[in-house]
């Protein structure tokens, strides 16, 4: 067997290892119902849930509960299946949180509470201007 063949086999082995490990570490986008099902079946993997903040009919955000020391907060989030869920975030509220049009939370269920490790926001104006402010 030539050395280049051995090297080739080693490279392929590492590449397969990388792919397997990536597949194992990959998270997934799920709904709260699926996340709940995963958590109750003992799977505590971190998952992504996409949704929006719960808003009242006049457009104000509902259900924000800052902690007494302001260093953490919880909020109500509605996912694609319109399920409402309380999400707890152990960090101060991200700037622009209330303006976001879409929220992605990465985390897992702890009993009835969803605890987010990370929050990604999509704010409308950051990406594309949608209205023209008419100033006189």
Partner 1 sequence: MIHSFIGNLGHLSVIVAFVSSLIACFAFYKATTSNQLKKQGWLSYGQTAFYVHAVAVLSVIVCLYFIVYNHYFEYHYAWSHSSRQLPFYYMISCFWEGQEGSFLLWIFWNVVLGMVILNTSRTWKAPVMTIFALVQGFLTSMILGVVIFNIKIGSTPFILLRDAMMDAPVFQMNPDFIPEDGNGLNALLQNYWMVIHPPTLFLGFATTLVPFAYCMAGLWTGKVREWIRPALPWALFSAMVLGVGILMGAYWAYETLNFGGYWNWDPVENAVYVPWLVLVAAYHTMITYRNSNTALKTSVILVVATFILILYSTFLTRSGILGESSVHSFTDLGLSGQLLIYLLVFTILSILIIVYRWKDIPTSKKEVSTYSREFWIFVGATTLCLMGFQVLVATSFPVYNSILNGIGFESNMALPADQVSYYTKFQLWFAVAVALLSGTGQFFWWRKMDTKLLRETLVGPILITLVVSAIIMWITKVTEFAYIVLLVAGIYSVIANAKILWNLKNKSWHLSGGAIAHIGIALMLIGIMYSSGYSKIVSLNKSGLLISREVDDEFNLQNLILFLNEPREMDKYSLIYEGRNVEADDVSGYVPVEILSPTNDPYYWIAAEDVQRNGRVVKARGDTLRISPENIYFKVRYQQQNGQDFTLYPRIQVNASMGQVASPDIKRAVTKDLYTHLSYAPFMTEEETREWTHSDSLTIQIGERFFINDYVATLNDVQRVHNIPDIKLEEDDIAVKATISVAGNSDDYTIEPIFLIRDQRVARIPDVINDLGVRVAFSKINPATDSFDFDIYTTQKDFVILKAIEKPYINILWSGTLLLVFGYVIAIRRRYREFVLSRNKGLE
Where does this chain bind partner 1 (CB under 8 A)?
2-4, 7, 11, 14-15, 18-19, 21-22, 25-30, 45-48, 50, 67-72, 74, 88, 90-93, 95-96, 99, 102, 104, 106-107, 110-113, 115, 117-118, 120, 122-123, 125-129, 131-136
Distance CA 17, CA 55 (A): 45
Distance CA 70, CA 127 (A): 29
Q: Nearest distance from residue 22's CB to partner 1, in Å?
A: 5
Quick check: 86 and 75 in contact, CB under 8 A? yes
Which strand (E) or helix (H) includes residue 16?
Answer: helix 3-25
If the CB atoms of residues 70 and 82 are measured against partner 1, the closer one turns out to be: 70
Q: Nearest distance from residue 88's CB to partner 1, in Å?
A: 6
If the CB atoms of residues 84 and 96 are measured against partner 1, the closer one turns out to be: 96
Q: Which two tokens stand for residue 16?
A: 């397969």
If the CB atoms of residues 40 and 102 are measured against partner 1, the closer one turns out to be: 102
Q: Nearest distance from residue 76's CB to partner 1, in Å?
A: 15
Distance CA 41, CA 128 (A): 42
Structure-token match 């990604």, residue found: 120
Distance CA 78, CA 84 (A): 5
Q: Nearest distance from residue 57's CB to partner 1, in Å?
A: 18
If the CB atoms of residues 63 and 88 are measured against partner 1, the closer one turns out to be: 88
């Amino acid at each position: 067997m030539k050395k280049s063949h051995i090297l080739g086999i080693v490279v392929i082995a590492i590449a397969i290892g990388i792919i397997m490990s990536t597949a194992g570490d990959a998270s997934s986008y799920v709904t709260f119902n699926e996340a709940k099902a995963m958590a109750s079946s003992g799977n505590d993997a971190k998952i992504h849930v996409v949704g929006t903040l719960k808003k009242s009919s006049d457009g104000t955000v509902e259900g924000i509960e800052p902690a007494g020391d302001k260093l953490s907060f919880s909020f109500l989030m509605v996912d694609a299946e319109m399920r409402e869920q309380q999400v707890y975030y152990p960090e101060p509220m991200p700037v622009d949180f209330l303006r976001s049009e879409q929220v992605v939370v990465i985390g897992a269920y702890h009993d009835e509470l969803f605890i987010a490790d990370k929050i990604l926001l999509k704010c409308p104006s950051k990406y594309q201007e949608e209205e023209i402010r008419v100033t006189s």
